[in-house]
Structure 1
Amino acid sequence: MSKSTNIVWHDSKVTKQDRQEMNNHRSAVLWFTGLSGSGKSTISVELEKKLYELGVRTYRLDGDNVRHGLNNNLGFSPEDRTENIRRVGEVAKLMADAGLITLTAFISPYQQDRNNVRQILAEDEFIEVYVKASVETCEQRDPKGLYKKARAGEIKGFTGIDAPYEEPTNPEIVIETDHQSLEDSVQTIIDYLKDHSYLG
């Protein structure tokens, strides 16, 4: 619930539709969710590069990057995770209004948190991308050494080890990085954007 009082929304003379027409593509939020090490950041980085080459205006919000600034006062308790996603959802909404395709790479382990972001966006603007990989695969990759620390008890509340991950119930896109290459993963998403008329 908002603590702000005496505030009024101030409309712009330039609309979201104006920006989309100038950009020659629709707004969207590609919400990458999955376990640590599943490939969310890797895929989003490569996808952003490919979209840029196609002339698409994008911005990428990454879990670790956002915690360096906007969310540096949040930890990893369930409450802080929810607030982390709420803030990112609001930023993504602003970027959608700016006419961008926003790529967000966050574990975002709770279905309700992801649903809440979907609900604040316009219809069809939230594209949930489930980057699916088994805990065993993610633990073998362990690019940041976090699973090793979690197993050693150095990290508490680590998703997939001693904290839950709620799989998406009906994601728009599923990428199985156990089986799909990075190139195939990126192409799957680009094909979806083209097939659903997000790209001009």
Structure 2
Amino acid sequence: MIKNKAIWLFGLSGAGKTTLAKQVSQTYEKANIKTILLDGDILRNGINKGLGFCKEDRSENVRRIAEVCKLMLQVGTVPIVSAITPYESDRLKIMKVIGEENLVLVHVKCPIDTCESRDPKGLYALVRKGEIKNFTGISDTYENTKIASLTINTEEDSIDTSINKLLESLSIKIEI
């Protein structure tokens, strides 16, 4: 079983990153492996408070999360990140900070129209009303990836299938 790798789930808002992260964390905890969930939205209210949504601030947000991951790994805790991480250059930086050998980079793929139809936080509705600017995938860039360790397509696969694919890639066997 993989114990000492950070798991970084990235993709558009509403793709299913947090749902997958929570399930993986619960599975690890059942196996007595200590985890910490690092959700991009929650971190923006804490250690990343004050950062905006320009490219530089988005990059700094991701860099800080990667540094926290590195620290968590050093104390034997598996960090599980769910963060949009829209730029490929930042994904490469994550690999350098954490170390490619210490990271499972998971692209949670889902088309923007499906993410918008899910809209779990009501963000797409606010974007369409003009109340949110610089929104990834609509008014700001989201770059496709060539470096992900694994891609999970949450439009095509059910939640259970998506979770099983992710857990299988991490060498964890469970029944959902």
TM-score by length of 1: 0.82
Percent same amino acid at aligned positions?
39
The separation in 1 between residues aligned to 2:2 and 2:9, in whole angstroms, is: 20
Give the equivalent residue in structure 1 for 2:78: 101
Paired residue secondary structure (1:127): strand
Cα pair 1:25 1:56 within 8 Å, conserved: no
Which of residues 144, 156, 164 is equivalent to 1:187?
Answer: 164
CA distance in 2, matches of 1:96, 1:188: 23
Shift of 1:25: 5.5
Match of 1:59 in 2: 36
Which aligned runs of 4 or more in structure 1 are off by greater than 2 angstroms?
A: none
What's the CA shift for 1:158? 0.3
- RMSD value, Cα: 1.5
Q: Per-residue deviation at 1:122? A: 3.1
Taking the aligned partners of 1:123 and 1:76, their CA distance within structure 2 comes to 26
**Partner in structure 2 of residue 74 of structure 1:** 51
SS across alignment from 1:65: helix
Unaligned 5+ segments in structure 2 are none
Contact 2:2 2:170 in 1 (8 A): no
Q: Is the 8 A contact 2:3 2:33 kept in 1?
A: no
Q: 2:37 corresponds to which letter in structure 1?
A: R
AA paired with 1:176?
N
Residue 121 of structure 1 deviates from its aligned partner by 2.1
Residue 38 of structure 1 contacts residue 131 of structure 1 at CA under 8 Å; is this kept in 2?
yes
Q: Determine if the alignment matches structure 1 residue 32 to structure 2 residue 9.
A: yes
- Letter of the 2:90 partner, please give it: D
TM-score normalised per structure 2: 0.92
1:179, distance to aligned residue in structure 2 (A): 1.5
Match of 1:153 in 2: 130
Gaps of 5+ in 1: 1-23, 196-200
Distance 2:170 2:25 in 1: 13
| Larger CA Rg, structure 1 vs 2 | 1
- Residue 128 (1) aligns with residue 105 (2): yes
AA in 2 matched with 1:117: I
| Closer/same/farther in 2, CA of residues 101 and 78 from structure 1, 3 Å limit | same
Q: Give the partner amino acid of 1:193.
A: L
Determine if contact 2:40/2:82 at 8 Å carries over to the other structure.
Answer: yes
Q: Give 1:123 shift.
A: 3.8
1:140 to 106, 117, 129: 117
* CA positional deviation for 1:173: 1.0
The 8 Å contact of residues 35 and 159 in structure 1, kept in 2 or not, is answered as yes
Partners of 1:32 and 1:25 in 2: how far apart? 16
Deviation at 1:186? 1.6
1:86 Cα deviation after fit: 0.7
Of the three residues 119, 141, 146, the one matched with 2:96 is 119
One-letter code of the match for 1:144?
Answer: K
Q: Partner letter of residue 158 of structure 1? A: F
